[in-house]
């Protein structure tokens, strides 16, 4: 049986390739291979694809393999007409998609993945393109975070949806869809290497060494998707890194875990120590996913320095009482301690910075300005993220219960770029722009007021 896996387009007002790889889809590929499928991949978001440059000018890498996606302007969905910004489809052009589909030829089944819920127009357009190419003959299975989080909405695509993160439920769906017997012996899919072999070229490699998170932040869905936290045995992590770094000859290695520092003595430290031993200091490592400041110790910091970590993002989010109210994953003193440890081993603002989230429900302008001031005074770099209420989080449930959201909003309206234009219970667009400007000024040495 021949299967095609597709990483769909992103449609939004802005998007940037900050080490985005469809890891879930690559695990599905590894799983399908075990079931005996012949596999093909079209990643519409792989800026480093060898064939892509024949079809479009791909912006050069900005730093460490990251960069801007090629894009075309597309019509704004009606529900976004009031937003005074251009709406774009990011990723490979249609001509590339068509060329690759022709090249791959007839397949028995197509799998399309998804991530952020408010990017659904890009997923829907990808599915529409596939339907136009294959007609109704080839079944399409649609999975990923958007489908899991909003299954009823995803059903509107009229394809087969897979709203689960347990791949061992796939054989049953495949039997129904393909009308064949599929081996349903459970497979521990997380122990499989993500199927990077399906790419012809990559600009960086992304890995997850754990799934889940033991913390329970009110704005985050990670702890609701996965039950607790699970660790991939460190030997397997090392095997994957060695195998794929050699195969793709990349310089940048990215860990995208939600909670990589948990139980570090028996997990992350072992990985780092082995990487040091194996001479991986000549590569560049990145932790873009907001690590836990309170779990950093001197040994981790020294190992990361030895291994040439270039990006260490600390999850800070806000100053003020919301630190505790949203779950208490970090308080000021944790950040100070982490920053001092990291500085002591030689890291600077260039490598280490904290995420500050703007527009958390109940957050004041003062909370954000205090967070900026705090980082600046402690010599920690910072970057501003805009909050979005994710369906199913504690925050979202509170907003519904408090009458501040109805729960029936079009998912696209919860895009953090769009929210300040219509949501009267949060910060408006002018306030957000003011805070971003304030952050820029403070970074450049301006005053805190």
Whether the CA torsion 279, 284, 289, 292 is positive or negative: it is positive
Q: At what angle do helices 365-377 and 332-344 cross, to 10 degrees?
A: 30
Q: Of the candidates 125, 7, 14, which has an alpha carbon nearest to the alpha carbon of residue 68?
A: 14
Q: Describe the strand order of the beta sheet including 205-207 as a list of residue ranges.
A: 205-207, 252-255, 284-291, 309-317, 352-358, 381-386
254 is an interface residue for ligand SF4 by CB under 6 A: no
Part of the chain binding ligand SF4 (CB under 6 A), chosen from 73-81, 218-226, 273-281, 296-304: 218-226
The one among 20, 116, 220, 303 contacting ligand SF4 by CB under 6 A: 220
Q: Which is nearer to ligand SF4, 103 or 227 (CB)?
A: 227
Could you tell me which stretch among 186-194, 212-220, 341-349, 437-445 binds ligand SF4 (CB under 6 A)? 212-220
Is 361 an interacting residue with respect to ligand SF4 (CB under 6 A)? no
Say how far apart CA 242 and CA 215 lie, in whole Å: 31
Question: 195 and 37 in contact (C-beta within 8 Å)?
Answer: no
Beta bridge partners of 354: 314, 382
Q: Kindly determine how many residues on this chain lie close enough to bind ligand SF4 according to the rule CB under 6 A.
A: 12
- Cβ of residue 288: shortest distance to ligand SF4, in angstroms? 13
CB of 289 to ligand SF4, least distance (A): 8
CA–CA distance, 304 with 312 (Å, rounded to integer) = 9
Establish if 5 lies at the interface with ligand SF4 (CB under 6 A).
no
Give, as ranges, the residues between 327 and 356 that touch ligand SF4 (CB under 6 A).
Answer: 327, 329
Give how far Cα 236 sits from Cα of 187, 363, 420, Å: 16, 42, 44
Distance of CA 316 to the CA centre of its chain: 18
125 vs 297, beta carbon nearer ligand SF4? 297
Closer CB to ligand SF4, 215 or 283, in the complex: 215
Q: Determine if 315 is a binding residue for ligand SF4 (CB under 6 A).
A: yes
Least distance (Å) between residue 35 CB and ligand SF4: 31
The CB-of-360 to ligand SF4 minimum distance in angstroms stands at 11
Best CA proximity match to 308, nearest among 327, 272, 330, 283 = 283
The nearer residue to ligand SF4, 240 or 258, going by C-beta atoms, is 258
Q: In whole angstroms, what is the distance from residue 369 CA to residue 356 CA?
A: 10
Counting every residue written for the chain, the total comes to 449
Span interacting with ligand SF4, options 153-161, 220-228, 305-313, 418-426, rule CB under 6 A: 220-228
How far, in Å, CA of 445 to CA of 424, rounded?
33
Smaller CB distance to ligand SF4: residue 224 or 443?
224
Structure tokens at 259: 């909670």
DSSP element (H, E) containing 303: helix 298-306
| Binding-site member from 170, 217, 272, 368 for ligand SF4 (CB under 6 A) | 217
Nearest distance from C-beta of residue 440 to ligand SF4, angstroms: 25
Q: Which is nearer to ligand SF4, 157 or 393 (CB)?
A: 393
Q: Which residue in 13, 18, 215, 434 binds ligand SF4 (CB under 6 A)?
A: 215
Stretch that binds ligand SF4, among 90-98, 217-225, 378-386, 394-402 (CB under 6 A): 217-225
Distance CA 203, CA 183 (A): 35
Residue 230 CB coordination number (10 Å): 10
Q: Which of 49, 258, 334, 386 binds ligand SF4 (CB under 6 A)?
A: 258
Q: Which is nearer to ligand SF4, 184 or 385 (CB)?
A: 385
Q: What is the CB-side half-sphere exposure of residue 378 using CA atoms within 13 A?
A: 25
Stretch that binds ligand SF4, among 140-148, 181-189, 208-216, 433-441 (CB under 6 A): 208-216
CA dihedral sign, ordered 293, 297, 298, 300: negative
Span of 90-98, 138-146, 215-223, 343-351 interacting with ligand SF4 by CB under 6 A: 215-223
Q: Taking CB under 6 A as the rule, does residue 312 contact ligand SF4?
A: no
We find the least distance from the C-beta atom of residue 385 to ligand SF4, in angstroms, to be: 11
Cβ(9)–Cβ(122) under 8 Å?
yes
Nearest-approach distance from CB 93 to ligand SF4, in angstroms: 35
Residues in contact with ligand SF4, shown as a per-residue x/- string from 264 to 303 under the rule CB under 6 A: ----------------------------------------
Binding footprint of ligand SF4 on the chain (CB under 6 A) = 213, 215-217, 220, 222-223, 258-259, 315, 327, 329
């Amino acid at each position: 049986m021949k299967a095609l896996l597709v990483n769909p387009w992103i449609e939004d007002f802005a998007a940037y390739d900050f080490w985005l790889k469809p890891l879930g889809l690559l695990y599905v590929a590894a799983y399908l291979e075990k079931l005996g499928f012949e596999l093909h991949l079209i990643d519409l978001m792989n800026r480093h694809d060898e064939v892509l440059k024949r079809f479009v000018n791909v912006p050069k890498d900005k730093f460490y393999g990251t960069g801007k996606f090629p894009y075309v302007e597309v019509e704004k969905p009606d529900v976004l007409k009031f937003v005074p910004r251009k709406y774009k489809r990011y990723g490979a052009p249609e001509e590339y998609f068509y060329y690759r589909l022709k090249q791959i030829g007839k397949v028995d089944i197509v799998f399309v993945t998804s991530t952020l819920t408010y990017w659904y127009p890009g997923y829907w357009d990808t599915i529409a393109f596939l339907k136009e190419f294959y007609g109704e003959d080839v079944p399409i299975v649609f999975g990923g975070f958007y489908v899991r989080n909003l299954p009823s909405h995803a059903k509107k695509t009229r394809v087969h949806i897979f709203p689960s993160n347990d791949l061992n439920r796939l054989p049953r769906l495949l039997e129904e869809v393909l009308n064949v017997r599929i081996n349903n012996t459970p497979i521990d899919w997380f122990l499989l290497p993500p199927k990077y072999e399906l790419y012809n070229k990559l600009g960086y490699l992304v890995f997850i060494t754990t799934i889940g998170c033991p913390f329970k932040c009110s704005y985050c869905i990670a702890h609701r998707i996965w039950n607790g936290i699970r660790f991939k045995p460190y030997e397997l992590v090392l095997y994957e890194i060695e195998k794929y770094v050699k195969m793709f000859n990349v310089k940048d290695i990215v860990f995208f875990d939600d909670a990589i520092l948990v139980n570090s003595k028996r997990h992350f430290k072992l990985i780092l120590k082995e990487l040091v031993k194996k001479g991986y200091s000549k590569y560049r490592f990145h932790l873009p996913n907001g690590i836990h400041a309170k779990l950093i110790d001197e040994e981790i910091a020294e190992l990361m320095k030895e291994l040439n970590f270039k990006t260490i993002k600390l999850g800070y989010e806000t100053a003020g009482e919301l630190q505790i109210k949203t779950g208490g994953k970090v308080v000021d003193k944790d950040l100070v301690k982490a920053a001092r440890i990291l500085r002591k081993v030689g890291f600077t603002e260039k490598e280490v910075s904290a995420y500050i989230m703007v527009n958390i429900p109940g957050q004041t302008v003062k909370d954000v300005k205090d967070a900026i001031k705090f980082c600046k005074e402690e010599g920690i770099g910072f970057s501003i993220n805009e909050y979005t209420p994710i369906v199913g989080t504690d925050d979202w449930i509170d907003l519904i219960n408090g009458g501040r959201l109805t729960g029936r909003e079009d998912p696209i309206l919860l895009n953090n770029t769009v929210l300040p234009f219509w949501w009267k219970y949060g910060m408006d667009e002018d306030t957000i722009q003011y805070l971003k400007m304030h952050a820029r000024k403070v970074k450049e040495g301006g005053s805190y007021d």
